Structure 1
Amino acid sequence: MASEDGGPSWKDRAEWKQQVWSKWMEPLVIIIVLVSAMYFTRRKNYSVFRRSPEESARSLLSPESQRSSGSDWDRPEDMASLHPPKTRRILGRWTVRTPNSSRFARHFHSRILQKFPFLVEMFYWAIALVLYRGTILITSYWYGGSQGLWDIAQHHGTSILEFEAWITGMADVKTNNRWIEWRIQQWFLTGASAGDWRGSALAFLNRVYALIHIPGTAAFIAYYYATAPTHRRFCIARRTLSLSNFVAFFVFSLYPCMPPRLLPKEYGFVDTVEAEDANSVWMKGDYVNALAAMPSMHFGYAFAIGCTLVYESGFLRHLHPLGDDTIDDLEMNGILKQESGDVPRSVASRSILLFLGIFYPALILLAIISTANHYLLDACAGAVVVGFSFLCNRFLLNFLVFEDWLLWAWRLEKPQRLAPLAKTGKGWHGWHGWQRLALLTKISKTGKDQHSQKESAQQAKFSTAGED
């Protein structure tokens, strides 16, 4: 239970104090994750300072750099050009041509990106961080300053509590017991005050909420970038998370919402993370929008990651069968048995993925409720945002037009994934990578003008660059 001064009487009994996880350790973990991702996803046969044999072969024919997916060289001047304009579709209605930055591939900063393509993913998430920071400024301006924003956010938070009480049939109850979030937190606080295992569990959940969200998401992006059976599948996951961010930022701006921990004391919620000094360095000061409880992107990210892991486990694959176009591609390339690049997994590894896919979102859900950082409806809204973003993830492809012009302005060539990475007996290789490299090497020996249309069609099939 909470003590009279509002602080938890259990906090001095917590076994895991903040000094176990110093303030500098969390940024260090993030740096280690990102640097490790850059290292393990680097192009091993590519040199920033000199051309490799692999690069020489690839430079003769590189459709993914010279043209966009689905574009046609229908003009003579384009066919004669080494760097024809890219063709992009906007909202499925308009076709535009954008500059091709492949001519800048030999620039030093382009070669750095070619060597470490994961830097592009880091750039995408830096954009999301800037936009998130902007939600604080937008909401403060829209609602007439900090005090007006605070009052509106508090009203929205209490309205959610009362709506939940009405849904659960507890609207007639006059005590705090009518709120499920209050009952869950009090169960932990009561046990912690009694000195049982719930005190340690709550201390653990405080750290889960404060410290797992950003490092865990970064680790997942790095892991899935390196191990996704196809680059297309990784792009779907990345676009889903990115669009979820943008939708959530829009809601944050229009509907600021105070989390339970910041409500007036009469509501009975305790900020256990702050009381135990377990806050993340990213959750203080200018890094965080404290009035952005709805939707919960802590749970939204965890839900997206969990769904991805469950899907990759293969246990529910029958719910998303292969399309006819995919089957045709696989049959043409003689790799239908690989199921679009899927790596055969043991029952044990599939079971681990399934377990993590279910356990991780459940753990985050328990953490955000027990620490009074979110309402149950926040989590539901986070799941809805992720589902909507998954269905509409290709909307972000419309922004490739702006990316093409930005790359042109920076005189920079965006790195292209040669093939998805898969674990084989000889290390990390793509299912299609060796086929594509063999084709390029053959072309380099026979001459660019002697390759057949069939080989060009196969080359295009091996390309995954259309999924950005």
Structure 2
Amino acid sequence: MGETTVKRTAGRESAPLSPPSPILPTGAGVRAWLRTPRRPRIWFEILLILASYWTYSLIRNAVPEQKAQALKNADWIWRTEESLGLAFEEAVNQAANSVTWLIVTMNYYYATLHFVVTIGVLVWLYRRQPGRYAASRTVLFATTGVALVGYYLYPLAPPRLMTGQNFVDTVLVHQTWGSMASGNLKHMSNQYAAMPSMHIGWSLWCGLMIWLLASAPWARILGLLYPAATLVVIVATANHFWLDAVGGVVCLGFGFTVSFLWYGALPQRLPARVEPLSVPGSGPPPPAEAETGPGVRADDAEPETVGSGR
């Protein structure tokens, strides 16, 4: 017998195969993509940090300076600490101020490390822990964002601006630079935004990130010492009450909660390294299907031999 063939319908030509159009996910698919850890892009992170800090400073300084209420709240904080037997800020401030080299060092510590160490930890996370960077950065941003609510709802004068007490404004006395709330720079910054303390919020974030993610024991120990030293500095320079530090810790707890709800895990539980992810639907198309696969009808197939005679 002759060869048996299957022929396509007369007058119909087979259409060339083309890759399926990418389908952008919606709803849960987009949320899942956004929540997936990915390698950060340096240009985007720099722009995000600069824009976020500029917005934070703008909003913080735009909060009305409610001097009377801020001083009233400071008196209430001081009386509360006295009732607890923990009103030690004045003694620490005066003791540190009596040692010139020590208080000058603390003034510069307060002015510089707040930014230097935080940026340093962000860079370290970006380079060494890229899979955890976004979740860690979200903690920091949410912490800073919720602090703005505290500045608006609870204006608070720092101890150095209280009346009737013996606190020393160490920046003014020792003529050191760095405090945006002292000297000629005081008109550029909100004087009554002491609660919560972001020096504590940021330093504790740095310390925890180093403690949780660093491998070297000495680095982890330094990570824990940094927020402890910062607490001493903010009290010794009379920029904060210790209760302001408690406010900073509460804000940091909020930041970790936001990050956990978004990523489904705390930063240390995420993979340290991840591969870059493409935008949904923009990846390379799948390989072309076989001619008899999906998208090709049986009567459109090319003639092929399906059997042979004897």
SS at match of 1:243: helix
Are residue 85 (structure 1) and residue 24 (structure 2) matched? yes
- In structure 2, C-alpha distance between the alignment counterparts of 1:150 and 1:132, rounded to whole Å: 19
- Choose the corresponding residue for 1:235, options 123, 134, 153: 134
Match of 1:129 in 2: 54
Shift, 1:211, TM fit? 1.5
User: Which digits, 9 at most, give the CA deviation of each residue in 1:111-156, with x for residues without a partner?
Assistant: xxxxx9222222222224313322332x32xxxxx5xx11111111
1:370 and 1:88 mapped to 2: Cα distance? 51
Matched residue, 1:376: 242
Alignment partner for residue 287 of structure 2, among 436, 440, 449?
449
Say how many residue pairs are matched.
Answer: 251
Structure 2 contact 61–188 (Cα < 8 Å) conserved: no
1:154 and 2:154 aligned: no
TM-score, normalising length: structure 2:
0.71
- Of 176, 186, 193, 1:278 maps to 176
Could you tell me which runs of 5 or more consecutive residues in structure 2 were left unpaired when the two chains were aligned. Answer: 1-18, 35-39, 264-270, 278-282, 290-310
Pair 1:246-2:154 in alignment: no
Alpha-carbon distance in structure 2 between the residues aligned to 1:433 and 1:136: 40
Does the Cα contact within 8 Å between 2:156 and 2:194 map onto a contact in 1? yes
Where does residue 56 of structure 1 map in the other structure?
Answer: none
Equivalent AA in structure 1 for residue 26 of structure 2: T
In the alignment, what sits opposite 2:162? 263
Listed as ranges, the matches of 1:89-104 within 5 Å are none
CA contact (8 A) 1:133 1:289 kept: no
- Mapped to 1, the partners of 2:56 and 2:112 lie a distance apart of 22
- CA distance in 1 between counterparts of 2:128 and 2:200 reads 23
CA distance in 2, matches of 1:129, 1:261: 26
Deviation at 1:274, TM superposition (A): 2.9
Structure 1 position 395, deviation (Å): 5.5
Specify the alignment match of 1:412 in structure 2.
none
More RCO (CA 8 Å, sep 6+): 2
Aligned equivalent of 2:112? 211
Q: How far apart are 1:288 and its partner, in Å?
A: 2.8
- Higher alpha-carbon Rg: 2
Q: How far apart, CA to CA, are the structure 2 residues paired with 1:256 and 1:134?
A: 14
**Equivalent residue of 1:256, what SS?**
coil
Identity of aligned residues (%): 26
* Cross-structure match for 1:185: 93
Q: Indicate how the Cα distance of structure 1 residues 213 and 448 shifts in structure 2: closer, same or farther if over 3 A, else same.
A: same
Higher helix fraction: Structure 1 or Structure 2?
1
Q: Give the counterpart of 2:223 among 334, 346, 357.
A: 357
Within the candidate set 305, 310, 313, 2:211 is matched to 310
Distance apart, 1:86 and its partner CA: 4.4
Distance 1:365 1:131 in 2: 22
Question: Aligned AA for 1:294?
Answer: M
Q: Which residue number corresponds to residue 12 of structure 2?
A: none
Match of 1:222 among 123, 137, 159: 123
1:426 match: none
Q: Match of 2:26, SS? A: strand
Aligned to 1:367: 233
